[in-house]
Amino acid sequence: MKPTTICRDILGAERLRSVFDELSALQVKMVLKKGRLNAKVGAGIVSQQKKRTVWFDRLSAAITEGNDLAAGEMLEQWLLNHHREMLIAFLSHLGVKHDAGETDENFLLSKPREEIQASANALLRDERFDGPSVRAYLLYIAYQQRSAIFDDYAPVISGVAEGS
């Protein structure tokens, strides 16, 4: 699933705004830069809150227009900087060697489907993490690794883990 689809269909408009609000100004600027969006605001806009409103509007429009670069960078900044514990939990449960939730291993293609699904279900049931965040992470990591493993996997698509 593409990052823009994850943002629109899994996170939704309200959750997308809260994800954006979790990002620092520096992280937002990195998202805008990666998405080839202008981070500059008019000279009359001086408050950080007004700047963030302009930036969010630009990002939201870019996601609506299908800018996967911006959506993907937003997901990456958000997950790595604000949900690292979730990444660590998934990779550790799956037995993937990682450095604080980051790995270069293409584990979605090398691990058995059953193990990946069991780890996804464990993450979905983990009370420390909310369903939309888990689903966004799983679908984004599949996108990064060019795997369709979760595209038709109901617990990830619907958010209800097997065995719940």
Residue ranges of the domains in the chain? 3-81, 84-157
Give percent of the chain with pLDDT exceeding 70. 96
Q: What is the pLDDT of residue 28?
A: 95
- Smallest Cα–Cα separation from 139: which of 30, 27, 7? 7
As a whole number of angstroms, the distance between CA 132 and CA 156 comes to 9
Q: What is the pLDDT of residue 141?
A: 95
Q: How many residues does the chain have?
A: 164
40 alpha carbon, distance to own chain's centre: 25
Q: What is the pLDDT of residue 101?
A: 86
Provide the token pair at 38. Answer: 């202008």
As a whole number of angstroms, the distance between CA 105 and CA 54 comes to 37
Provide the token pair at 7. Answer: 């943002």
Report residue 32's pLDDT band, with 50, 70 and 90 as the boundaries.
Answer: very high
User: Distance of CA 152 to CAs 106, 156, 157, Å?
Assistant: 20, 8, 7
Contact 17, 73 (CB under 8 A): no
Poorest-pLDDT segment among 59-68, 96-105, 131-140: 96-105
Provide the token pair at 79. Answer: 């997950």
Report residue 2's pLDDT band, with 50, 70 and 90 as the boundaries.
Answer: very high
| Rounded average pLDDT over 101-109 | 89
